[in-house]
A and B are shown apart, each in its own frame.
Chain A
Amino acid sequence: DAGVIQSPRHEVTEMGQEVTLRCKPISGHNSLFWYRQTMMRGLELLIYFNNNVPIDDSGMPEDRFSAKMPNASFSTLKIQPSEPRDSAVYFCASSDRGQFGGYTFGSGTRLTVV
């Protein structure tokens, strides 16, 4: 298994532009989580899905952030418009509701908004 796959690995964009981050969870995993990590705030849970349905989006910082999971093998996190304070590493993770092995995280997307 290739694990959780995130793309792109690095993204540099100008303030005001739309940014889309992508995640492919492990096949068979039915829970998916988006996290953001900064030096100041650590790892923050933004939103999570069970069986493609958003369960808790209370961590999404503003309306500029949106996430979708159109099917079990793909999720996106979109920022529109982006701002410099959105610069962070964004992680996606997945887990299997039937197992107790913890989450599997992707390698992250490092976003820089200039």
Chain B
Amino acid sequence: DAKTTQPTSMDCAEGRAANLPCNHSTISGNEYVYWYRQIHSQGPQYIIHGLKNNETNEMASLIITEDRKSSTLILPHATLRDTAVYYCIPQETSYDKVIFGPGTSLSVIP
């Protein structure tokens, strides 16, 4: 399984863009990059995923480098409700077993 490296914690001012980096230098060619988040006392929530191309949905944007060794999750206008732990996870399919690392604890500050 590919391993990931994420910052332990980050702060972001409310209303500003939050950029969360992830290194996954050992990702295999058929592994997607999935992002989940976990708000305190809730179950993890799927955010977005991508293989090679950049992706955008109503929650976030995902930028994947050309060599696929790293990616950045972008929350364009962070709100207090975005305070959570964010997990970056290489995963082959939606039903592949998902191993969660420690993630990045994002604090959005008023």
Contacts and interface: CB of A to CB of B under 8 A. Distances in A.
A43 B100 contact: yes
A50 B95 contact: yes
Interface in A15-59: 30-31, 33, 35, 42-43, 45, 48, 50, 55-56
B29 interface: no
Contacts of B97: 33, 45, 48, 55-56
Majority SS of interface residues in chain B? Answer: loop
Contact of B43 (A50, A56, A102, A106): A106
B34 interface: yes
A100 B98 contact: no
Interface residues of A, number: 27
Interface string B39-63: 0001111110100000000000000
Given A42-B100, A45-B97, A97-B93, A103 B42 contact: no
Contacts of B93: 97, 100
A108 B44 CA distance: 10
A96 B42 contact: no
Contact of A103 (B32, B98, B101, B102): B98
Given A42-B102, A43-B100, A45-B99, A99 B94 contact: yes
A105 B45 contact: yes
Contacts of B49: 100-102
Interface string A78-114: 0000000000000101011101111111111000000
A91 B43 CA distance: 7
Contacts of B101: 42
A55 B94 CA distance: 15
Nearest to B34: A102
